[in-house]
Structure 1
Amino acid sequence: MRTLPSEPVYSTAVAVGKTIFGGLGLKRIVTGAENIPATGGAILAITHFGYMDFALTEWMVWDRTRRRVRFMAKKGAFDKPVVGWLLRGMKHISVDMSAGAEAYSKAIVALKAGEMIGVFPEAGVNTSFTVRELKTGTVRMAAEAGVPVIPIAVWGGHRLLTKGRKPTLREAFRTPIRYTVGEPIHVDASSDVRESTLALRVTMQALLDEAQASYPADGNGAWWQPAHLGGTAPTPEEAAIAEAERQKRKAAEAARK
């Protein structure tokens, strides 16, 4: 295994994360880890149902490949004093949702340099716990940089911390975290971006279906289970309406400042 240059902030963050997750007794179940490339640029396209998805993915990837993932994260996170310092120290990429060209360019440079970039193509936490419409950036970056997309479904991480729910130790303790990693997807530069993005969404939903079907906990009637599987989570339509209302309130608050 190759020797990586020292990155104290990243190494410390990984060690702290492993200690916390280990203390919680989280049970990882991974299928398809062999699909994560050992070297070279690649994009990890990950489902996004909870705020710990990035850390849980880093934990899994690091343990299996000793590779560092550079996540594309919203600028708001970088603006927070301690969190921002940590994100910059780990060389994650800040994304201004109103002007994403700079982040896109940085990601392309990193991919061509052989880095692994983590993205959440749904562009935000999705509380319906199904894969909603994806942004096209993942496919466009893969085509431009000439790197594969590795689709990943993470199921169970939202039980630790997600939008609109207060975290509890009881919910988090010994929670199973199910990962399904799909085969690399190669996007040709001549491919139709929207068709390729739709195909990626279908693949990610299939991986999620697999993760949910094999999840070792009964979610019937549970808040963390999607409606179509007997849970009480909002339907995709309900979640979309709630998110639109949240964005409207957020815009109104910003206008008052």
Structure 2
Amino acid sequence: MPDLTALDRAVLDRTARDRTARDRTYRWVIRLCRVLFRALGLRIEVSGVEHLPSTGPVVVAANHSSFLDFMFVGLAAVQRGRLVRFMAKESVFRSRLSGPLMRAMAHVPVDRAHGELAARQALRALRAGEAVGVYPEATIGRAFVVKDAEDFRRGAAYLALATGAPLVPVAHWGIHRIFTVDRRYSLRRGKAVEVVVGAPLVPLPGEDADALTLRLHDRLRVMVDELVERYPQPPTDPARAWWWPATLGGAAPALVDARVLDVAAVRRVDARR
């Protein structure tokens, strides 16, 4: 290895200090999350963590149904000794409460009008050996099943193809019962939450981001559907359960109706900006 100059050593030392500080903050937040989980008496089951590489760059792609998704997806990664840097909407970073924490943990802000900036930051993180978390559905879905393929973003596939990082699907279900859009929340104890880490998707010869995204969509849809089918706390009266999928007789909107609601919600947010 060539001799390092004083400037090189200073840069490396500062990088190491910065990483130590942000990881310390991240682990402090993890401890707070675990206190919250215990307070709510959540019945959390995590499986498939062996599919997540314990070192090196990795793109984690998860479904999006709650404001708390990142806590549980991150929990699976922690069991492999990883801290995921999530790509999250820029407004979260502007909040006086969450903004300082998001920045301190080195998460990646995403501005829909300038997505290339977030992509560059995510690429830098991956090339530094980090785990980057992406929500291909972009916004929380109100149907509580995976959105249609046409609503899936290509970002996760693009990052994986650009860096050679494994693309690992992570499915979860039950988190939306705690806190989700439209002021839906419940502090009732004992809710079941399941998180499953799937086997990495390996790009096929000549496969582009569109094709890989479609495979990711199909894998996540199957994984989430399986979680719903075996959910240990189905509602006694599905037709009155706002959190139960319409495909199973629940009161959640069907995918086509949920899409209309999701688009309208995004427009309202954009109008306030």
The CA distance in 2 between the partners of 1:199 and 1:207, in whole Å, is 12
What's the counterpart of residue 126 of structure 2?
Answer: 111
C-alpha contact (below 8 Å) 1:143/1:189 kept by paired residues = no
TM superposition shift of 1:199: 1.1
Matched, 1:249 2:268: yes
Deviation at 1:154, TM superposition (A): 0.9
1:167-246 maps to which residues of 2 (within 5 A)?
167-170=185-188, 173-187=189-203, 190-219=206-235, 220-221=238-239, 222-246=241-265
Q: Distance in 2 between matches of 1:121 and 1:140?
A: 11
User: What is the identity, as a one-letter code, of the residue corresponding to 1:244?
Assistant: V
Which amino acid in structure 2 is aligned with residue 142 of structure 1? A
Q: How many residues align?
A: 248
Match of 1:143 in 2: 161
* 2:145 paired with 1:130: yes
Work out whether 1:81 is the aligned partner of 2:88: no
The code of the aligned residue for 2:175 comes to G
TM-score (norm 1): 0.92
CA distance in 2, matches of 1:81, 1:18: 23
Cα pair distance change 1:23/1:250, threshold 3 Å: closer
User: 8 Å contact 1:180–1:210 — kept in the other structure?
Assistant: no
Assess if the C-alpha contact under 8 Å between 2:56 and 2:131 holds in 1: yes
2-side partners of 1:179 and 1:11: how far apart? 20
CA offset at residue 66 of structure 1?
2.0
**Letter matched to residue 192 of structure 1:** D
Secondary structure of residue in 2 paired with 1:81: coil
Residue 91 of structure 1 aligns with an amino acid whose one-letter code is A
What percentage of aligned pairs have identical amino acids? 33
For the pair 1:49 / 2:65, whether they are aligned, the reply is: yes
Give how far 1:144 is off. 0.2
Report the CA distance between 1:248 and its aligned residue.
3.1
* In structure 1, C-alpha distance between the alignment counterparts of 2:54 and 2:158, rounded to whole Å: 23
Q: Which residue in the other structure is 1:17 paired with?
A: 33
Give structure 1 regions of 4+ aligned residues with deviation exceeding 4 angstroms: none
Q: Secondary structure at the match of 1:99?
A: helix
Structure 1 gaps of 5+ residues are none
TM-superposed deviation, 1:214: 1.6
Pairing of 1:30-45 with structure 2 (within 5 A): 30-45=46-61
Indicate the RMSD between aligned Cα atoms, in angstroms.
1.6
Q: How big is each residue's C-alpha offset from its partner over 1:84-103, in whole Å with a ceiling of 9 and x where there is no partner?
A: 00000111011111111111
- Please state how far the C-alpha of 1:188 moved relative to its aligned partner: 5.3
CA distance in 1, matches of 2:128, 2:102: 20
Larger radius of gyration: 2
SS at match of 2:202: coil
Deviation of the 1:230 alpha carbon: 1.7
- In structure 2, the gaps of 5 or more residues are 1-18
Could you say if the C-alpha distance between residues 251 and 90 of structure 1 is closer, same or farther in structure 2, counting changes exceeding 3 Å? closer
